[in-house]
Amino acid sequence: MHTDFTKMYIDGQWVEGSSDKSIDNTNPFTDETLFSIRSADESDLDKAYAVAKEAQTEWATMLPQNRRALIEKFAEVTLQHKEDIIDWLVKESGSTRIKAEGEFLASMAIIKEAATFPFRMDGLIKPSIVPNKENRVYRKPLGVIGVISPWNFPFHLAVRSIVSALATGNTVVVKPATATPVTGGLLFASLFEEAGLPKGVLNVVVGRGSEIGDAIVEHPVPKLISFTGSTEVGKGIAEKAGRLLKKTALELGGNNVFVVLDDADIDRAVESAVYSKFYHQGQICMSTNRILVAESIHDAFLEKFVERVGALKFGNPNESDTQVGPLIDHDQVERILDQIKQTVDAGATVQVGGNTDGNVLEPTVVSGVTNDMPLAKNEIFGPVAVVISFKDDAEALKLSNELPYGLSGAVHGSIYRATEFARQVETGMIHVNDQSVNDEPHLPFGGEKDSGLGRFNGEWVLEEFTTLQWVSVMHERREYKPFFS
């Protein structure tokens, strides 16, 4: 496996960027600079898109069993380098070993699902209202897809777009987040190179948003932009793409609710809430942001929840039993500390945590929160849980839906009642008597409202990354009356 990640990957070659700026890749726990890479500029991006376009015709016409074999070989190579990938997730993204292992397993699952896609490019034969005519509907790849990957689950959230795009006959240009250029991009170049992917089919450009962020969307070659990240940036991408009539697949921010109804199993709800809030320090789009608890069981839930959160081990992500590691950088620490202060000033109470050591923020619980306080109305993206009390189901539903997000969620209670409640929450995904951080490779993943557009995984990503062509066939001479008599 290629391990020198000081260069980017274009047309099957490891090359230096053309910008006069460089990007430092930093370990978020130690603040150690892992390496520096010279940034890409628009000329590098233009070359990457050009070679991807040139390679796409041959890639799309490859026999499906051959394209599947390459995806399967990529899965084999990825599995062989499991420990290398996990090490990079720990040192580059601040993942705990627990989270890195989970991210790797999720990535392998989506790779295996995508390996089935070459034989799932189904077409249709439809009847016609015209005599002796046949209607055919062909499913075709879009062409070239631009992928902008995030820093929080960089390997999984990049691979789900990359491998799905490749499996459906598209070629790809990836721009990883500058905080995670290896796990969000360059690792894939290395792994696919070892797997024997033809040159030009996958290209990785590492560059600053200020230099190539607009260009990766506005370039005339890509037919779809796949982006995972903040709602603010996603809206900007959607606006640029919309002007150019490009498709987008956007997974954006979430202000996810975790609702505990008055007939819930409190111990079970506490365990689910701890996991869905503090897994990967809460730096997950699906992480619980607001925990809504029925007034009659609020105190009992809070007492047990605070006890469990206070027992979490936090600190060095490289230690196998660490449950909460560092935030990605100090700016995130300062942002969250400011929101804690504003929320406390508004009348809330810190029950446990709130202290920092470098980029590690202690697992924190804040009670007495209302929906209009900063920690409730903004996506936290950190290890801070807010607990909000509600009087009845109607109020809980109002609190759940009144903010402009709808990605994931969870509801605890008796199954029928909780399920009926869940169906009324305006969100793309919601889980009954479970936690909110769920992703299965064969089920539709995506949000509503400000949480994004489109769906990933399974047959739904097939719809996103392909297009349909109607071809009609006349089997006999047609009479064009009354135009010709």
Q: Which residues are catalytic?
A: 251, 285
Angstrom distance (rounded) from CA 323 to CA 88 = 18
What is the C-alpha to C-alpha distance for residues 203 and 258, in angstroms, rounded to an integer?
39
Place of tokens 């990967």: 280
Q: Is residue 333 helix, strand or coil?
A: helix
- List the alpha helices (DSSP H) in 151-213: 154-167, 187-195
Q: What distance in Å separates the CA atoms of residue 34 and residue 477, rounded to the nearest whole number?
A: 70
Q: Is 375 exposed, middle or buried (0-12, 13-18, 19+ CB in 10 A)?
A: buried
Residue 386 phi, psi (nearest 5) = -115, 135
Contact 374, 339 (CB under 8 A): yes
Cα–Cα nearest to 329, from 39, 28, 66, 116: 28
Would you give the DSSP letter of residue 281?
G
Rounded to an integer, what distance in angstroms lies between the CA atom of residue 131 and that of residue 39? 60
Q: Kindly state the tokens that stand for 464.
A: 């996103």
Residue carrying the six token digits 């075709």: 140
Single-letter amino acid, residue 266? I
- For 38, 301, 304, 319, the CA distances from 263, given in Å and listed in that order, are 57, 12, 16, 38
Q: Please name the helix (run of DSSP H) or strand (run of DSSP E) that holds residue 421, with its range, or none.
A: helix 415-422
Query: Which sign does the torsion angle of CA 382, 444, 103, 233 carry?
Result: negative
